[in-house]
Amino acid sequence: MTLEALVKQFADNVAAQTDAIFQPGADPDDRHGDLYIQAFKELRAQGDAGREALASLFTHERADVRVAAASFLLRYRTAESKAVLNEVAQRKGFFAFEAGQALKRWEEGTWALDPE
């Protein structure tokens, strides 16, 4: 699978998971979460080229996708990831909470999404 296809798989499944969470009566199956995590693992296996490809999502139209990409890339692109997360954290709602939690875990030293 190409880097672009993996990035699309990551973004599409983050969005699908979010949409399912907010849908009344949604199936608790987390297949979308599994799929975007798998996409990240495959991107990570490509080294910095895969991480750079994922960083393209920092400007995605959906806040949930931006937050997910920035959360996974905190170690690799710390300043840019923190900027994305801080921007979303200033808002209200679920994505602001997620962004704030990612930043909190980073500052505490407990963040471990891409430890390599």
pLDDT digits (tens, 9 = 90+) for 75-105: 999 999 999 999 999 999 889 999 999 999 9
- As given in the structure block, the two tokens for residue 109 are 């030293």
Structure confidence at residue 27 (pLDDT): 65
pLDDT of residue 29: 62
Q: What burial letters (b/e) apply to 3-27, b meaning 16+ CB within 10 Å?
A: beebbebbbebbbebbebeeeeeee
2 class by beta-carbon count within 10 Å (0-12 exposed, 13-18 middle, 19+ buried): exposed
Average pLDDT over residues 62-86: 96
Please state, rounded to an integer, the average pLDDT across all residues of the chain: 92
Whole-number pLDDT of residue 86? 97
Residue 26: the pLDDT is 65
Measuring CA to CA, how many Å separate 16 from each of 26, 39, 46, 111?
11, 14, 25, 24
Domains and CATH numbers, the chain: 3-108 (1.25.40.70)
pLDDT of residue 74: 95
